[in-house]
Amino acid sequence: MNRTRAVVLVEGISDKSAVETLAERRGRDLAAEGISVVAMGGATNIGTYAGRFGPAGRDLRLAGLYDAGEEGAFRRGLERAGLGSDLDRSDLETLGFFVCVADLEDELIRALGTATVERVLDAEGELRSFRTLQKQPGWRGRSTHDQLRRFMGSGGGRKIRYSGRLVAALEPDRVPRPLDGLLAHLRQG
């Protein structure tokens, strides 16, 4: 294995799985490229990880994904780690940190379309469970997209189990911008 030259910081294991699955689909071996994907256990840990791996720590190239709602935490954490000041979204992207509109599951559901996501659930034997959620009073009348996001976020590690499967179901030209941008950024360095 090559010496680590870059670290991709993501919020959780499901994001890690998605990045690694897409890289594999594109014929890339991130480990061989010296790139390590690290699940931080939540966005609020960005400062710790950026400090550990960034300029004040191991001085590795950093990149990552974050949810729009966590942009402030990412901006502050990266600034404290010495990666700039008064960072805005464009600056974060230049650094290699790409925003997911709501979260990665939202991006994947939009890219795939709800019918394809339902086919993935069916292949995993969970379409019936999803239909049960759709019938619950709090979810009746909501969009299928919102129902799918809720379903992915509930029940025993679904986000983790489905992130790679959803990425595997993507058409090559339908990869969500944050994932596509991240892998392109990693190729540049």
Cα 126 to Cα 136: distance, rounded to the nearest angstrom: 16
Nearest-CA neighbor of 12 among 160, 185, 153, 182?
160
Span 86-145, pLDDT tens digits: 999 999 999 999 999 999 999 999 999 999 999 999 999 999 999 999 999 999 999 999
Tokens linked to 57? 């720590």
Q: Mean of the per-residue pLDDT values for the chain?
A: 94
Tokens linked to 46? 């960005």
Cα 165 to Cα 49: distance, rounded to the nearest angstrom: 27
Pairing of strands 97-100, 6-10: unpaired
Cα 44 to Cα 23: distance, rounded to the nearest angstrom: 26
